[in-house]
Amino acid sequence: MTETTDTAVQTLPVMEAFYTLQGEGFHQGKAAYFIRLAGCDVGCVWCDVKESWDVSAHPRKPIPEIVSEAQHHPARIAVITGGEPLMHDCAPLTEQLKIRGFQTHVETSGAYPLSGSWDWICLSPKKFRAPRPELLLKAHELKVVIYHPSDFAWAEKHAALVGPRCKLFLQPEWSRREQITPLITQYILENPAWEFSLQLHKYIQVP
């Protein structure tokens, strides 16, 4: 959690921040500024940013500085990701981003309570720590990573718990994409409520 109630001096642990294209899900292909907060205890074995897990390994930055750096880029979508960003109180950060005209998006496992004011909530539930029920109901997008064929049942379990307007995406785990992609393709053909999420950024080699 942040350490003080004064937004002028509040800090968050930032592993990295970068300007790129959103590579996944509903907003794929759009320019966005990513703020990757450090800290995660969900423990996905296939996580591709395990270096984000240790919150103590990354510097805490003042929120005004984080927002100022975002303003240097022309897009006005700010994606808060991790790690698990909701381990921290995101309200002061989203407040300051919105004042400066940003749409605020969060990418979360749903394992922690929701904080912050969000224009888009991407929920990607993990078997290692179940999402909180209130996150399921508020999600705009359910993005399930498919690593094994049994994950389709996991996806359907959570699809039954989200709101009726929530977008449904299946995404192959990157290291097994060649094996899993045909399974997802066939599954969506048979279950067209779902859409395919491809990690576009890895194919076009941007952050």
Task: Give the angle subtended at the CA of 106 by the CAs of 105 and 109, to the nearest 5°.
Answer: 155
Residue 3 lies inside a defined structural domain of this protein:
no
The reply to whether 74 falls in a domain is yes
pLDDT, tens digit (0-9, with 9 covering 90-100), for 36-77 = 999 998 877 778 788 888 999 999 999 999 999 999 999 999
Residue 2 has pLDDT above 70, yes or no: no
Query: Could you tell me if residue 111 is inside a domain?
Result: yes
In a domain, 37, yes or no: yes
pLDDT at 4: 39
In a domain, 6, yes or no: no
Q: What is the mean pLDDT of residues 181-186?
A: 98
Give me the CATH number covering residue 185. Answer: 3.20.20.70
> Which residue in the block uniquely carries the two structure tokens 């399930």?
144
> What is the pLDDT at residue 52?
86
* Residue 96's pLDDT band (cuts 50, 70, 90): very high
Give the pLDDT of residue 9.
62
Predicted confidence (pLDDT) at residue 105 exceeds the cutoff of 60: yes
Smallest CA-to-CA distance from 75 within 43, 34, 136 is with 34
Mean pLDDT across the chain, nearest whole number?
A: 93
Residue 167 lies in a domain: yes
Mean pLDDT, rounded, for 79-93? 96
Kindly state whether residue 2 falls inside one of the protein's structural domains.
no
Give residue-wise pLDDT tens across range 119-173: 999 999 988 888 999 999 999 999 999 999 999 999 999 999 999 999 999 999 9
Domain that holds residue 94: 11-204
Number of domains in the chain: 1
Write down the H helix ranges in 71-144.
91-99, 133-138
In a domain, 50, yes or no: yes
Q: Percentage of the chain with pLDDT > 90?
A: 86
| Alpha helices (runs of H) in the chain, residue ranges in sequence order | 63-70, 91-99, 133-138, 151-159, 177-190, 200-204
